[in-house]
């Protein structure tokens, strides 16, 4: 596979089904409706990854607060379709 352009895009009510399909292919677990409702509410902490304008991955995070009051970002999911792995897309999403 040749090198391509990797970009991140917002997850919206219009493309949340793409995330659901991607997750069903990439992960061995099924996420419930609450997960996807929460994803829509985290804004910039959830992104779809595009490789040459094709959705190939996603990252979904949230902010947790510890009992001591510290805020930490928790990565709920970070995944990429198998044919697009080892192209640096996961690292791109991680940053």
Q: What is the CATH number of the domain that holds 35?
A: 3.40.630.30
In a domain, 14, yes or no: yes
In this prediction, residue 93 carries a pLDDT of: 78
In a domain, 56, yes or no: yes
In a domain, 21, yes or no: yes
Q: Which residue range forms the structural domain that includes residue 62?
A: 6-94
Which residue's structure tokens are 């090198």?
3
* 34-52 average pLDDT score: 95
In a domain, 1, yes or no: no
Longest pairwise C-alpha distance within the chain = 48
- The answer to whether 34 and 42 are in contact (CB under 8 A) is no
C-alpha 41/C-alpha 37 separation (Å) is 7
| pLDDT, the chain, mean | 91
| Least trusted range by pLDDT, from 20-24, 72-76, 79-83, 87-91 | 87-91
Cβ-Cβ contacts under 8 Å for 61 (sequence gap 6 or more): 42, 45, 46, 73, 74, 75, 76
User: What is the count of structural domains for the chain?
Assistant: 1
pLDDT of 88 over the 90 cut? no
């Amino acid at each position: 596979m040749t090198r391509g352009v990797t970009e991140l895009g917002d997850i919206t009510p219009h493309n949340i089904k793409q995330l659901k399909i991607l997750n069903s292919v990439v992960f061995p677990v099924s996420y419930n409706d609450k997960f996807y409702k929460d994803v829509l509410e985290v804004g910039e902490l959830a992104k779809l990854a595009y490789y040459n304008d094709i959705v190939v991955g996603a990252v979904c995070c949230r902010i947790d607060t510890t009992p001591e009051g510290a805020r930490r970002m928790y990565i709920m999911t970070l995944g990429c379709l198998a044919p697009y792995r080892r192209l640096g897309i996961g690292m791109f999403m991680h940053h």
